[in-house]
Amino acid sequence: MSWNTDDVNRTLEAGAPALYAALSPLGRRLFYPPDIPAQAQEAKGRSFNGTIGIFTDGAGGAVPLPSMAAALTLDGDDRNRAFLYSPVPGIREVRERWRGWQRRGVAASVPSTLPVVTAGLTHGLSMVADLFGGEGRTVAVPAPFWGNYRQTFALRTGAAVSTAPAYRDGHFHPGAVAEALSAAPEGEPAVAMVNFPSNPGGYAPTRGERDELRRTLLEVADRRPLVVVCDDAYAGLVYDPEVPRESMFWELAGAHERLVPVKVDGATKEFSFFGGRVGFLTFGVDLGEEAAAALENKLSSLVRSTLGSPVALGQTILLQALRSGKAEAEIREVFEIAERRYRAVRPALDDLDRDLLRPLPFNAGFFVLLEIPEKLGLDPQRVRRHLLDHHDTGIVAIAPRYLRIATCSVAADALPELVRRVERGVRELAGLTR
Amino acid sequence: MSWNTDDVNRTLEAGAPALYAALSPLGRRLFYPPDIPAQAQEAKGRSFNGTIGIFTDGAGGAVPLPSMAAALTLDGDDRNRAFLYSPVPGIREVRERWRGWQRRGVAASVPSTLPVVTAGLTHGLSMVADLFGGEGRTVAVPAPFWGNYRQTFALRTGAAVSTAPAYRDGHFHPGAVAEALSAAPEGEPAVAMVNFPSNPGGYAPTRGERDELRRTLLEVADRRPLVVVCDDAYAGLVYDPEVPRESMFWELAGAHERLVPVKVDGATKEFSFFGGRVGFLTFGVDLGEEAAAALENKLSSLVRSTLGSPVALGQTILLQALRSGKAEAEIREVFEIAERRYRAVRPALDDLDRDLLRPLPFNAGFFVLLEIPEKLGLDPQRVRRHLLDHHDTGIVAIAPRYLRIATCSVAADALPELVRRVERGVRELAGLTR
């Protein structure tokens, strides 16, 4: 097909009007021209193919340096895939198998696009920010939140982050997104972040809380086009058996014509593959063939102009797990380590002196979040530094009064002592023992 | 250090005034806050470290899925490095070894920063575009040029690409950059692309041409802050023994106080590692300790907010070559394959009917560039399609009248026939045989 930018925009507007309405100025400009990768795609299988700037043996095979090839056990097609360029939207087999992985247990009637490969989840978020951010756009984020949301959306694109408390009286507050958008200009498109299990507070909402959250999001969508970004980094890591493990994405996909669910997920945490940089971007709208191609054109334009192509090496390694039939069992083993840590830290949290530290709800994910009571007037950075200097202990400080403990990187038997040291440090600074 | 954005800007302005003057609005805003990665860095080595959201065995070791770990032969520290997050500016050993690799044969007095790791060369270019591009900024690009420069700089950031002919009367034209900037507002900062060996025309300038180019760039810098981006993707691939192989970067580093040389290079082509996505960004200015830290702060902010962290897996594989002491010899073997193709295609180019196709200067790199004489009035896309449909042959069409043959992906013995088919296709369309 030989589209231009206008064709792509018109097709998207017809097939996905809310998505189109929410595009940023950059989002409207994005267009993947019929240049080298597209021309190389068309030349595939020709006897004489001098299209793509990739060094091969002349028959499509990679020519890796022996010292680097020795680091991989892969051979044949997979070795070639690992060392050569990935297609711009990702290796087809990886995209299809990931879609299958995502949709385990999801009804066939729920719409979702073929995922586009990103260089990890932050890259997926930055693509969403490029597509839907920009000056004057409101991004609703329940607080406390992962600080990189601010950098990805506000610092880079100029969007305005609007927050509301994620917890009220020590409980999850499902109305936070709607509250954060209450001052946004009537009818204007907006973006909302939904992150379960969450970071920095390791929480996944109950059935009732999810239903309430869904209701408030649909209500917002009655009044404005709403892009809901489901940051599913910690997918599946829920320790309370009563609490749903599936992504909220599947409850939002196809639920409202002005709600555009976007799923940001990937191998980083779910497949314990931090260094590989393989993420995915999936849209929960039934686009039809034409509009899906138009959206993929825009996403490809973004990948091409920021990365060239995604990480073939990481995709090829991930493929080994997706093909093995063992991914679920292997992930279960990692989950069990995480769950043992949860069981180990739980009693230590229950024993905390509430006048010094108040744990926020914790039933999932990688992190315990502790609130320093406001009346202590303690800067969490001061607590962090005190713990580094006097208690041989590192934790993360989050303004205005939170401490985050990453249970994901601490052995189960060390966690109770770590929590005690944090409490001791706060007690010392609060002057309660002096 | 607990800097804020103003501190970083002031430090950079004092230590590198031309670089600071050329920053885009985004470049000025960039600031790497003391959030999670910075706090995790400070907590390194503490007995109780609950800072970073990375799943480990509790003692810093990776917990990869067995089906994925089996794809690598690495063990110990290298296996951990491959599966865990990279530091945001890159793995220290990789950065230091790459710097050593870059500076082979370079005098110690020539300044260059410790390279920051990017996710391949396009990502390095997109970082340069974010730093120095933006609305109203002129980017000088000799034409014909790699189309992705336009997407990276103009489509994404709104900068204006200004071109001038890279070749005049069939010869390389060293004044192209200066010519492309002649209409830019007096005194305004500008960006210039320097790409040798070049794409799409595989050319590296002679000693005399390089001297002339350098002279014109220094002249431009007398009149405006000038960021010169040396796109060294095809570093070293020069087939003419009389022609210099080193990057122009080393002739520009430290040469003029208003000229800011930036080197974009990496493993993609130089180490035949297309799928790994490992590139580097290096500045050719003597920054001093403080300003170097300020620049790394900005670059880290950009990596963090677009990628999270660079590809640890690719860096770890590249490290095997950098450590082996065999990189030069192994690269030489790849180069010899490329050189055999050069020797094979050269006579076929010399035999071309100049009324149908005119080869542009070709002595280096991955590509032969052929010009269709203007008087034939042939659209190169039409030629490309004709070759696909009737000659089982794929090449790349570049507006307004160029055809590019990638010798890098065609066997030496197939190249003469490929060139003949291209000539035959043009002859048919030109109607000369009818």
Q: Write out pLDDT tens, residues B226-270.
A: 999 999 999 999 999 999 999 999 999 999 999 999 999 999 999
Q: B93: Cβ–Cβ under 8 A, 6 or more apart, which residues?
A: B319
Which pLDDT value is given to residue A20?
97
Model ipTM?
0.96
Please identify among residues 282-301 of chain B the ones whose CB lies closer than 8 Å to any CB of chain A.
Answer: 301
Helix/strand/coil for B183 = coil
Hey, of B2, B273, B366, B386, which one would you mutate to test binding to chain A, going by the most A CBs within 10 A of its CB?
A: B273
Which pLDDT value is given to residue A121?
98
For A331-395, where are the E strands, in sequence order?
Answer: 358-359, 367-371, 393-394
Tell me if B321 sits within 8 A of A67, measured CB to CB.
Answer: yes
Distance CA A363, CA B109 (A): 58
pLDDT tens by residue, A192-213: 999 999 999 999 999 999 999 9
> What average pLDDT does the segment B88-108 reach?
97
| Token pair in block for residue A68 | 């680097």
Chain B closest CA to A112's CA: distance in Å?
24
A271 touches B at CB < 8 Å: yes
| A50 vs B301, B338, B406: nearest CB | B406
Q: What is the DSSP string of A247-288?
A: -THHHHTTS-TTEEEEEEEEHHHHTT-TTS--EEEEE-S--H
Distance CA B421, CA B387 (A): 8
Tell me if B6 sits within 8 A of B13, measured CB to CB.
Answer: no
Amino acid A434 reads R
Q: In this complex, do A312 and B33 lie within 8 Å of one another by their Cβ atoms?
A: no
Asked if pLDDT for residue B224 goes beyond 70, the answer is yes
Q: In this complex, do A406 and B51 lie within 8 Å of one another by their Cβ atoms?
A: yes
Q: In this complex, do B271 and A85 lie within 8 Å of one another by their Cβ atoms?
A: no
pLDDT tens by residue, B199-212: 999 999 999 999 99
Tell me if B422 sits within 8 A of B351, measured CB to CB.
Answer: no
Please identify among residues 364-423 of chain B the ones whose CB lies closer than 8 Å to any CB of chain A.
Answer: 366-367, 384, 388, 391-397, 404-412, 414-415, 417-418, 421
Distance of alpha carbon B45 from its chain centroid, rounded? 36
> What average pLDDT does the segment B318-325 reach?
98
> What average pLDDT does the segment B286-308 reach?
93
Distance CA B204, CA A208 (A): 67
Q: A137: Cβ–Cβ under 8 A, 6 or more apart, which residues?
A: A24, A157, A159, A160, A189, A190, A191
B30 touches A at CB < 8 Å: yes
| B418 vs A50, A84, A152: nearest CB | A50
Other Cβ atoms less than 10 A from the Cβ of A365: the count is: 31
Distance CA B31, CA B330 (A): 40
Q: In this complex, do B313 and A417 lie within 8 Å of one another by their Cβ atoms?
A: no
B31 touches A at CB < 8 Å: yes
Distance CA B189, CA B64 (A): 48
Asked if pLDDT for residue B1 goes beyond 70, the answer is no
B123 touches A at CB < 8 Å: yes
Contacts B411 to A, Cβ<8 Å: 57-59
What is the arrangement of strands in the sheet containing A279-283, beginning at the earlier edge strand?
A116-118, A279-283, A259-266, A226-231, A190-194, A138-143, A160-165
Q: Which residues of chain A have pLDDT under 50?
A: 434
Cα dist from A164 to A134, A155, A226, A363, whole Å: 21, 19, 17, 21
- Of the CA atoms within 13 Å of residue A36, those in its CB half-sphere come to 25
Distance CA A434, CA A267 (A): 49
pLDDT tens by residue, B146-185: 999 999 999 999 999 999 999 999 999 999 999 999 999 9
Contacts B309 to A, Cβ<8 Å: 120, 122, 277
Q: In this complex, do A43 and B307 lie within 8 Å of one another by their Cβ atoms?
A: no
Tell me if A40 sits within 8 A of A53, measured CB to CB.
Answer: no
Nearest to residue A314, comparing CAs of A133, A126, A122, A119? A119
A38 touches B at CB < 8 Å: no
Which pLDDT value is given to residue B432?
62
Which pLDDT value is given to residue A34?
76
Q: In this complex, do B409 and A58 lie within 8 Å of one another by their Cβ atoms?
A: yes
Which pLDDT value is given to residue B96?
98
B316 touches A at CB < 8 Å: yes
| B120 vs A58, A276, A307: nearest CB | A307
Distance of alpha carbon A425 from its chain centroid, rounded? 33
Contacts A1 to B, Cβ<8 Å: none
The percentage of residues in chain B with a pLDDT greater than 90, rounded to a whole number, is 93
A198 touches B at CB < 8 Å: no
Please name the residue of chain A whose CA is at the shortest distance from the CA of residue B390: A46
- Please, what's the largest Cα pairwise distance for chain B? 83
Q: In this complex, do B83 and A397 lie within 8 Å of one another by their Cβ atoms?
A: no
With bands split at pLDDT 50, 70 and 90, how would you rate the model's confidence at B33? confident
Distance CA A312, CA A277 (A): 10
A230 touches B at CB < 8 Å: no
